[in-house]
A and B are shown apart, each in its own frame.
Chain A
Amino acid sequence: MRKLIVMLAALLLIASTALAETSIKINGSTTVLPIMQKVVEAYMKAHPDVKISVSGGGSGNGIKALIDGSTDIAMASRAMEPKEIELAKSKSENPVQTVIAIDAIVPVVNPTNTLKAVTLAQLKDLYTGKITSWKELGGTGPVVVVSRDTSSGTYECWEKMVMKKERVFPGAMMQASNGAVVQTVSKNKNAIGYIGLGYMDATTKPLTVDGVTASAETAKSKQYPISRELYIYTNGAPAGAVKGLVDFLLGAEGQKLVKEVGYVPLR
């Protein structure tokens, strides 16, 4: 019986400390999600008293959740739209934007392909199925278009910046990951694909876009056309436990994780 009382007391103690924990809710873009998951994992290891839950429902959902107060941090792969800012202001909220990383996407071909440069317009024609032979761009053989699955953040970025809201044609070979695109393109002399800057290696050949070589520098200076900033939004400037997490994310350790996941770190 005494044992039971001791155990009960211990349980109560644990429960009460659990209640004292601070908790942070994060929701939003699936593009930012892999960064956030890594960062949160590392941060919670160092700060076991902070409880963080991360979910990815898309940029729009994240921002909506921030406005109605059901999340503390919204992840977004696009800037807030004027309408959303208006809605937030009408609820006397003050969404603050923080840039956390840069996403750059590079078109790649097989190393045996003689092509070195493309324009955004040519990329669009390739991915809508208008250009079907490398002859039209000065090479040989049929074009095999490799794309990412339509649900991925990489596809979303590609659709926005290259396709200008048109769809990638259904004949494109949809691959489930950046790694699978690299694998497919490196094995097929006719293939063209696109991958995050962090996934470039010697097995595929990057193309310059509108004359600009993709690199961390050109992505940061916004010279390279297929790149975008990734954001988090908080209600007011980050404070308290949220500030701790954001500082960690922007610090050396957090930015190292950004690079590991395949994005361009801010420094």
Chain B
Amino acid sequence: MVLSRKTKDDLIRYAFFLTALSSIVALGLIMLYLFAEGLPIFKVVSVKDFLFGSLWYPTSDPPDFGIFPLIVASLAVTALSSLIAIPLGVMTAIYLAEIASRRVRDFFKPVVELLAALPSVVIGFFGMVVVAPFLQNAFDLATGLNLFNASVMLAFMSVPTICSVSEDAIYAVPRELKEASLALGATHFETIIRVVLPASLSGISTAVMLGMSRAIGETMVVLMVAGGAAIIPTSIFSPVRPMPSSIAAEMAEAAFRGNHYRALFAIGIVLFLFTLAFNLIASHIAEKHKQVGAATL
């Protein structure tokens, strides 16, 4: 059987369409499962008590399913790690794209990206065995496994993402923009602050959001170094229990389709909504500040 050129074309087009569709279907199925397994918990506990309850004793009799301390812990860890990672990542990116010589850039960029290749369990182990005892001795703390330690370790993981994506954005700023600025008498520094950064703002924002959504969803590191106490932190050196570590630690022992199991899936839903929000914000910013050619600045 000989296919006409048109049928062949169509076949190939459908094949590619199906490939593209497969990831959407996978996402849809996972979401469906997540909601089907998690939502029934709200027959046992109200949404308000679940989100804002301050006690997490899922296996007591009667149980308490309050995840407020876990949400606060996740947000606190993400915020503190962003506070460390954003300046580090963005400034490294500016240096690499604008200031460093070509040879330095060619050496540094792959090395920074290599940091992303470190398995999270290795970073967690480092935090547990090296950083925790150091923090405890240096600041005379009760424990080195705490919010601050987890944030530093998460910053390690998001710096490569933030740096690499922002660097690409900064590097892509049209050359004539910079030349015009310099020609008008601006210094190199003024050019970077007033011209290059605004022009690459959408790329940098995307980078920051990607870095943050990586931090909030990261499991292994927080499981190992955050300390695991389900309390609302009172200082940056309090032990905390972010959402992913609760799911990872407890899922194995939760009775299949019991209330505890459903509550853990419901935490998964909350976590999913958070990362979804981060990604929506990132794409919104990218869309709004899109740099089209040199003329729109």
Contact = CB atoms under 8 A, between A and B. Distances in A.
A112 interface: no
A15 B48 CA distance: 53
A13 to B, nearest CB: 34
Nearest to B223: A176
Interface stretch (A50-58, A211-219, A234-242): A50-58
A82 B137 CA distance: 54
Given A150-B59, A187-B132, A173 B250 contact: no
B69 A61 contact: no
A174 interface: yes
A187 B231 contact: no
B228 interface: yes
Most chain A CB within 10 A, of B129, B241, B255, is at: B255
Contact of B231 (A167, A171, A175, A191): A171
Contacts of B260: 151
Nearest to B226: A173
A22 interface: no
A77 interface: no
Contacts of B258: 57
Contact of A151 (B145, B230, B253): B253
Interface in B49-106: 55-60, 69
A203 interface: no
- Size band of the interface chain A makes with B: 20 to 34
Interface string A166-204: 010011111110000001100110110000000000000
Given A151-B253, A176-B249, A171 B229 contact: yes
Contacts of A23: none
Contact of B143 (A56, A144, A152, A183): A144
B256 interface: yes
A227 interface: no
Contacts of A155: 59
B264 to A, nearest CB: 10
A58 B61 CA distance: 13
Contact of A152 (B55, B128, B231, B253): B253
A187 B145 CA distance: 10
Nearest to A190: B142
A149 B223 CA distance: 12
Interface string A247-262: 0000000000000000
Interface in B220-253: 223, 227-231, 239, 241, 248-250, 253
A137 to B, nearest CB: 16
A191 B146 CA distance: 14
B291 interface: no
B228 A57 contact: no
Contact of A174 (B142, B143, B230, B255): B230
A173 B141 CA distance: 14
A156 B59 CA distance: 9
A21 B57 CA distance: 42
Query: Which of B60, B231, B253 has the most chain A CB atoms inside 10 A of its CB?
Result: B253
B254 interface: yes
A188 B57 contact: no
Contacts of A156: 59
Interface string A139-176: 00111100001111101100000000001001111111
Q: Give me the 6 closest cross-chain CB pairs, A-B, nearest first.
A: A176-B249, A151-B253, A174-B228, A142-B142, A144-B143, A173-B228
18 contacts: A30-B255, A57-B256, A150-B60, A151-B250, A167-B57, A170-B230, A173-B143, A173-B145, A173-B229, A174-B228, A174-B249, A176-B248, A176-B250, A184-B145, A187-B129, A188-B132, A188-B133, A188-B136
Given A151-B59, A176-B248, A191-B143, 17 more contacts: A57-B258, A61-B255, A149-B250, A151-B253, A155-B59, A167-B57, A170-B56, A170-B229, A171-B229, A172-B229, A174-B229, A174-B241, A176-B223, A187-B128, A187-B129, A187-B133, A190-B142
Interface of A: 30, 55-58, 61, 141-144, 149-153, 155-156, 167, 170-176, 183-184, 187-188, 190-191
Interface of B: 55-60, 69, 128-129, 132-133, 136, 142-145, 223, 227-231, 239, 241, 248-250, 253-256, 258, 260
